[in-house]
Amino acid sequence: MLRTIRAFWHDQSGIALILVSVMLPAIIGLSLLAIDMSRMNNLDNDLQKGTDALALAAAAELSGRSDSWTRAENAITNLVSNNTMFSDGGSVSLTAGTGAATTDATYPACRSKGQISWCYLASIPTNDSDPITSANYAASPITTRFIQVWAQPQGFTPMFPVSVSSSGNATDKSYNLTAVSVAGFTSGVCNYTPVFMCNPYEMVNGTNTAGGVTLEQAVTDPAIHRRLIELRMVGNSAAYGPGNFGFLQPPDGVGNGAQALAQTIATSKPLGCYSAQGVNTKTGQNTGPVQDAFNVRFGINASGNAFNTPEYGPAENVRKGGVRSNGNSNQCPQYNQLTFNGPGNKGLPRDQTTPYMGGRMGAGDYLLLGQGNYWQTNFGSASYPTAWDTTTPTRYEVYKYERAALANGTLPSSPPNAAQSLVGVQSTGGEVGTPPSGCQPPVTTVDRRLIYGALLNCTALEAAGYDLNGNSTNLPVEAFASFFLTEPVASASSDASVMVELVDISGREGQGTLDNFLRNEAQLYR
């Protein structure tokens, strides 16, 4: 008997069942906890992926134009649809739903619709750990650069009896999950000339030297659009202000020095790419080749024949009010071989008054029609749009009308010479718009009378400590712009002037003519 009792006492068979029975509650609890953590992680991933996609879709529409909020909301509503799982609601469609968005009365830049809320932002804090506040909200679509999107909280009740989230409800152990994403719109240009212009319409303390007109008004109001602007280079010691221009760092591989810089400006095939987030300047260059770089577009030969390949060819229409007065008539003329605005020859006229920007911006009151004026001098009785009788067009519109007869193979009614287009029509003094035969063949793939550049708010940049006379880096771009060259550059001095009309800007109220240059990208920031 004693032996039997002793054997039973030392027998370990079945001890595993006892241990399992003891540990079973812990095993079940840990399993439930693992399942809850997995469900919560999957729900969080679903929400985050959804808000990321919605933010990116909306950010791609934030081009700075007046309708960008409308387009961003359409993108949120129509472009992206996500389903979230594992919440108390099961499969929930993470969309903006239907109907109108609810606007926050206190913060008009913030909206809600369906399962989504969002705020349009003008800026975001530099440090990702700093919260976004109302100070970052955008005042209008034009100033919007980012969007913050978040999902309405999704309820989640765990199976584990203790909440696994710090947001859990102490009574029923349920809690909510949400996700927040911030995306922005980055813009840049490629195949752009390395030129920057100081914004002629830069606002300083609510006003500017352009009569208080904004950049957006300048490209949408015809009366302002046709103002002639004198862009002027400045010496290395002078401050940059509205209407000055300088040069950007050329792309790698084009060489150094004034000649290499001038070639990147003169070419019809520029290679440079520049970001709106920041550009680098290249100042202190000799200005002589730069004068040539602009003037080859008018069929004016560069000094020393530096630009003697087809990519430096002139525009299709080089009418400028200048005729050769000396030199070999079989050669492409240099600037000093031309006489400008002599009897019977007129280039596009300047404004009669220049009340803005210290006398360097006109009122748009140039004389186009009438005996002795531009049209009659160059084209006599050739027809023109009847709208010009009441509303003066921009000079660029006049230039394009002259080219239209050549481009579509037709002529306006009653041309002075039925065998010629308006480009080839002689003025009463003998000038034609057709480039001289001694020059490179005209370039027809791009409009050579347009120049392109980055608009910088130079006054604000210099006030912030940037030295535009040096080789500054990461200068923020207000907009990329195109300008129409109205006449050749007369001087090679350090204060050389370039007479232009503003044609278009990127984003904002731009007309879309720069879209071929733009390289836009939406990216996540948070």
- Do residues 364 and 224 make contact, with C-beta atoms less than 8 angstroms apart? yes
Given pLDDT bands bounded at 50, 70 and 90, which one contains residue 170?
Answer: very low
The answer to whether 278 and 302 are in contact (CB under 8 A) is no
Q: Report pLDDT digits (tens) over 356-411.
A: 999 999 999 999 998 889 999 999 888 888 899 999 999 999 999 988 765 555 55
Res 418 pLDDT > 50: no
The phi, psi pair for 460, rounded to 5°, reads: -65, -40
| Whole-number Cα distances in Å, 505 to 79, 190, 199, 368, 512 | 28, 15, 11, 25, 8
Contact (Cβ atoms closer than 8 angstroms) between residue 210 and residue 200: yes
Identify the residue with better confidence: 377 or 494: 377
Indicate if the pLDDT at residue 317 is higher than 90: yes
Q: Helix (H, G, I), strand (E, B), or coil: what is residue 402?
A: helix
Q: What is the mean pLDDT of the chain?
A: 80
Positive/negative CA dihedral, 379, 383, 389, 392: negative
What are the strands of the beta sheet with 245-247, ordered from one edge?
229-232, 497-505, 479-485, 450-456, 195-198, 245-247
CA distance 403 to 524: 45
Work out the percent of the chain whose per-residue pLDDT is above 90. 18
pLDDT over 70 at 208, yes or no = yes
C-beta of residue 45 within 8 angstroms of C-beta of residue 151: no
The neighbouring-strand residues paired with 500 are 229, 485
Q: Domain spans of the chain?
A: 30-186, 188-524
In contact, 205 and 184? CB cutoff 8 Å = no
Tell me whether residue 11 is exposed, middle or buried, using C-beta atoms within 10 angstroms of its C-beta: 0 to 12, 13 to 18, 19 or more.
exposed
Residue 303 has pLDDT above 60, yes or no: yes
